[in-house]
Amino acid sequence: MKSWIPDHRNFAYLNWKQVDALPRDGTLLVLPTAAIEQHGHHLPLATDSLINHLLLGHALAKLPREQPIYALPPVHYGKSNEHLGFPGTLSLSANTFMAILRDLAASLAGVGFERLVLYNTHGGNTALVDVMARDIRAEFKLRTFALHGSGGAQLEGLNPQERAYGFHAGEVETALLLASIPELVDSSAYTVNYIADVNQAQDLRPESAPAIFAWLTRDIAESGVMGDPRPATAEKGARWLEQAAIQLARALSAMLKFPNSA
């Protein structure tokens, strides 16, 4: 799997004596979580995992070298049952995914580390990551943080419909890969599907509303795409990558400095 994590920030490149020398109360460890799942006809199965390392790698590169922040080896598989039925999707159950996060946290807490970030770039994992951040905090007393996607970067120039309902293999994901690994994007195979219309009032919405309906990708998108990849360009991807990296770096710095009360 291609990675943009700087070598000096890669936890797995350290030996155990180097790990043992890290300050337990002042080291921030980042656990990437993503997925291997269908991304339409034009993007690879590894899209979420690639984007995770792309954004995280560029964010880590912006931090002062002396800050002890390291990326752990990623959890590539996620809860992707919304995409089951599409060949190539590899999904974990919710219980398995949460157990993996719990066991990894136990390994870190067992040798005294005190700060853990769960950095997620797959929507199907979001609720589970938020649950596990609190459970890990409660069980192991680790100061645990949840961080998602672009970290709240506004991604300038994205239209309202795509911002609201470009869930999957749409303009943003396509643009990020065009800017970073364009050989994996098949621009001749774009398809367009939306799960809802931002301009139409609805009593039920698919996400981020008081009343929602559960959905599977095949309910609304035969191709597997939820969004419109056609406006994506490498230039937009590079701009959005920079905006996201700045926001993520700011969040990681705040997490490193956050008070570690008992």
Q: Mean pLDDT, consecutive 10-residue segments, the chain of 262 residues?
A: 96 98 96 98 98 98 97 98 96 98 98 98 97 98 97 94 94 98 98 92 84 91 96 98 98 94 60
> From the CB of residue 57, how many other CB atoms can be counted at a distance below 10 Å?
21
Q: By three-state DSSP, how is residue 50 classified?
A: helix
Q: By three-state DSSP, how is residue 185 classified?
A: coil
Predicted pLDDT at 59: 98
Q: Are strands 143-148 and 69-71 parallel, antiparallel or unpaired?
A: unpaired
Q: What six digits make up the tokens of 50?
A: 């690639």
Predicted pLDDT at 4: 98
Q: What six digits make up the tokens of 157?
A: 């120039």
How far is 20 from 218, CA to CA, in rounded Å?
48
Residue ranges of domains in the chain, CATH in brackets: 27-257 (3.40.50.10310)
Predicted pLDDT at 36: 98
Predicted pLDDT at 261: 67
CB 124 within 8 A of CB 161: no
CB 167 within 8 A of CB 123: yes
For tokens 């700045």, name the residue. Answer: 246
